Amino acid sequence: MEISELKAELEKLHQTSFGWALSCCRHNRSEAEEVLQTVYLKILQGKAIYRGESKLQTWLFAVIRKTAATEHRKQVLRSLITLGSPVEKSSPQPELELEWSELQRRFRQALAGLPTRQRETLHLVFYQDLSVAEAAAVMNISIGSARRHYERGKKRLRESLDREGVDYGIQWRRKENSGVVL
């Protein structure tokens, strides 16, 4: 695929890619931006090459996930080398938290409480509208494992939301979002 052609495709996927990068970086915007930029750099340098073996989105998401993991590892290593202090946990900016609704805040908290694999699977299936098999390809795990993460994550998220007292069904209906069918 030519680089100009690839650029056009990447532009189409940019919004969803950023959403996935945010998820991989625990909703830290600056980190997600940096990761996405690094991914584009890798593509430009030819370090990440799309060979058409899977969907472009699946491939791109796998690259983003790997890059985010590498960046996180680098951060941990840097902090160990410099001061020996523990790594600051990535968290969303406080000014953003103020803008979120109560429902959103609780939902994000419930998501953050999930194990990484479960959170990633749920994100890929519900947010990115991928199948479980595609999610498995992005995460480089078997379909069986992905399905297990999906089921467990769903159960845990439901429990967590119930515990928080979020009647997400009712509250969601109040929102004027015509795109979602309940």
Partner 1 sequence: MEFSGDEKRIQALFSELSLEDQTRAPCFEKLWSRAEANTPAQASLVTRFVLVATVVVVAMSFVAVRSWLSSSQSQPVANIPAQIIPTTAGSRVQHSELAAASKIVARPRRFTRRQTERTAITQAAMLSNWQSPTNILLTSPTLSVLSSLPQLNQSARDLEQFLPKKNNELIKESKQ
- Can residue 11 be called a binding residue for partner 1 (CB under 8 A)? yes
Chosen residue from 131, 142, 144, 163 binding partner 1 by CB under 8 A? 131
DSSP output for 110-131: HHHTS-HHHHHHHIIIIIS---
Chosen residue from 24, 122, 137, 146 binding partner 1 by CB under 8 A? 122
**41 Cβ partners below 8 Å, 6+ apart?**
none
Taking every pair of C-alpha atoms in the chain, what is the biggest distance, in angstroms? 51
Nearest to 117 by CA among 77, 156, 72, 85: 156
Chosen residue from 103, 112, 141, 143 binding partner 1 by CB under 8 A? 103
Q: Measured between alpha carbons, how far is 65 from 119 in angstroms, rounded to an integer?
A: 13
CA-based R_g, the chain, Å: 18
Q: Find the shortest distance in angstroms from Cβ 22 to partner 1.
A: 6
Span near partner 1 by CB under 8 A; candidates 69-77, 82-90, 121-129, 138-146 = 121-129
Residues that bind partner 1 (CB under 8 A): 7, 10-11, 14-15, 18-19, 22, 29, 33, 36-38, 40-41, 43-45, 96, 100, 103-104, 107-108, 122-123, 125-127, 129-132, 154, 157-158, 168-169, 172, 175, 177, 179-182
